[in-house]
Structure 1
Amino acid sequence: MGHGHTRVDKTCLNCNYVVENRFCPNCGQENIDTRKTFHHLFVHFFEDLTHYENSFWKTIRNLILKPASLTKEYLSGKRMSYLAPVRLYIFISFATFLTISLTPERELEDGPVKVNFDKDEIKIDSITDRSADKPKFVFLDYKSVEHLDSLQNNSTAEDKLPPFVYKIFRKAIHVSEVNTQEEIEEKFKESFIHNFPKVLFIYMPIFAFFLWLFHSKKKWYYFDHGIFTLHYFSFLLISYLIVALVKEILYIFGENTIANVLSGIIGFVAFLWTFYYFFPAHHRFYGCSRRKSVLKGVLLFFINGFFISLLLAAFAFYTFINIH
């Protein structure tokens, strides 16, 4: 790594081999002092994550500007010049969601919220009681925990809610009774941001699975699709990160019309690039004809859009009912 003092003792701490130079010729471990300051720990962590400055910036440049080139290089065996896909994703994910959590909100204050999942099954209305500043979430005809409990306990077996549905309703109503609307919004946002990387990470093998279904099983292994997926999701995250940082820089000079217009243009251009990016990446990596690549790309977009929407909806609802 280039940091830390070389130990006077020439015996490797890892394998007990005699070390003549800085690195052990037997296992490769650096023969340096193991006790370090916080500064050294931080530098060591960052270097491990980025695998030296040149490879880090080369990886980021290729990831953003050369769709699929990073994946092709990695699978061809050229791996020392770039960050490993998993390490790259973890680093970008950490940087992106740290930035999101630290940037201030600039949205206008919202009015009452009304959400309907299904007219016949679940209806959620958010109505602000200005005197108490407490939102009241109404699930069908259930206006409070006590009301729900009373109906559940006094109903016939046929009219009672299934145990799982009853538990979910009770949690959701309880959340609305012990938190103000502002507290619910703040806690929901904090929890959602904190756990959203997990949702993306969970969905990646599903995304890779659909790629596997659409391509030759003899030519491509699931591992290949997994690497493509890691790089594509890393690209999506870093695109969001760049837009967020540019917007923050613009707003340093004040929230005015020019900053808002430039911010909107940058966001729109970034959206177009992230949407377009998948198609040349898919075409260059899998080597399909342009027509086949576009057709498969469109189908994959619709399929993945549907399933990731379901996952996000389930995750959002789970986040809401687990607010404390």
Structure 2
Amino acid sequence: MLHGEYCSVCGQREGRRDLHFSEAAGDILLDMVTWDSRFWRTLFPLMFRPGFLTAEFIDGRRARYMPPFRLYIIVSFILFLVVSFLARDMMAEVTNEDGDVSVFISSDDEVDPEGLAEAQRTLDGLGIDVDLQARKEASEDPAQTEYGGAPSASQSAESSAQASAEAAVDGDADSVDDEDHVNINFGFSDEEKPSWLGDLESRMEGNVRRMKEEPSLFLGLFLEYLPQVMFLMLPLFAVLLWICYLLSPFHYLQHLVFGLHYHSFAFLLYLIDSCLASVTSALDGVAFIGLIIYLPLALMRVYGSGTIGAVVKSLFIYFAYGITLIFGFVAIVLLTLAFL
């Protein structure tokens, strides 16, 4: 039997109570400046008991587990930090794989045999198939130099092929320029367009060309905006839940708590998937399947939905939120191109 509003053993408030905006704002400010050792205790129910943390929070049993906003901040920070490092490594690998290696040997200089052998071993170690000795001998052959007399038939054929290739390149210059041409227009004519919008379009066009040359810069700025846009998606996710349960006694902030827990689960799942992807590809697609299964199970626990109702509502949320995310990613691309 309780004496008063709180339990004398654990300090928990009695019964279920509604969450008010002023209380939520205070919790958010506190969550942003303090570390919580309950993080590790919260991970298991977050991953393997869909909807449990939200139900506990709504019912007022909040002392044992990390608050939802703090959990979201920590998990999202770790995820995007790891993703930024993995993306940086991936860009480095792509650059190394796509890079061209050119070897030049001047016939005017004496080539040290030991240095040539050392360079050959280095190229062999890198897996680059270049015969430096053959190139050295070719550069010393008078018949293959510009002033060494009439060229052989093979040289004539090679020169002809080279001339044809150069002509083809010159002939295709206009088409290459067309491919590199970038035109961004927000739908205004030149007369109606404000000067600041014209400057923005020009800057974005230049950044598109720059992005082709330095994709790592675009990727870095994209990852910088991604956490911010995903955070702005949370209220929209809560609106979808509010639409699904319009006649239920749940308030918007309680839907928002559900969204915080669901996104924390999604981020943690993709964090694990990203780390394991570098080790094995056997688990590809597991994260996506986990997200599909998790949502209806969480709706059944928190809102008391039946199986069919939870599945139908989940499909609606998947579709509507998927469209919202597409617009969100488009916004990230536009922001990145505008401020690259």
Per the shorter chain, which TM-score range? 0.5 to 0.7
Change (3 A) 1:176 1:218: closer
Higher strand fraction (1 or 2): 1
Task: Tell me which structure has the larger Cα radius of gyration.
Answer: 2
- Please name the residue that 1:301 is paired with: 318
Q: How does 1:272-287 map to 2 (within 5 A)?
A: 272-287=289-304
CA distance in 2, matches of 1:180, 1:206: 31
Out of 190, 207, 223, which is 1:175 matched to? 207
Three-state SS of the structure 2 residue aligned to 1:105 is: helix
TM-score, with length taken from structure 1: 0.62
Deviation readout 1:30-84 (Å, 9 max, x if unpaired): xxxxxxxxxxxxxxx99942x22xx322211111111101111111122121111
CA distance in 2, matches of 1:180, 1:75: 46
Residues 1:136 and 2:166 are matched in the alignment: no
- Please name the residue that 1:195 is paired with: 225
Three-state SS of the structure 1 residue aligned to 2:180 is: strand
TM-score, with length taken from structure 2: 0.60
Three-state SS of the structure 2 residue aligned to 1:266 is: coil
Q: Does the CA contact (< 8 Å) of 1:137 and 1:176 recur in 2?
A: no
Higher helix fraction (1 or 2): 2
Q: How does 1:1-324 map to 2 (within 5 A)?
A: 48-49=34-35, 51-52=36-37, 55-103=38-86, 104-105=89-90, 136-139=180-183, 160=191, 162-163=193-194, 165-176=197-208, 179=210, 181-183=212-214, 185-248=215-278, 250=279, 262-263=280-281, 265-323=282-340
- Please name the residue that 1:115 is paired with: none
Q: Does the CA contact (< 8 Å) of 1:136 and 1:176 recur in 2?
A: no
How far 1:167 moved relative to its partner?
Answer: 3.3
- Please name the residue that 1:11 is paired with: none
Change (3 A) 1:105 1:223: same
How far 1:137 moved relative to its partner?
Answer: 4.2
Change (3 A) 1:105 1:301: same
- Structure 1: gaps of 5 or more residues: 1-44, 112-128, 130-134, 143-156, 251-261
* Identity across the alignment (%): 28
CA distance in 2, matches of 1:212, 1:46: 26
Aligned partner letter, 2:244: F
Change (3 A) 1:159 1:92: closer
* Aligned CA-pair RMSD: 3.0
CA distance in 1, matches of 2:336, 2:85: 20
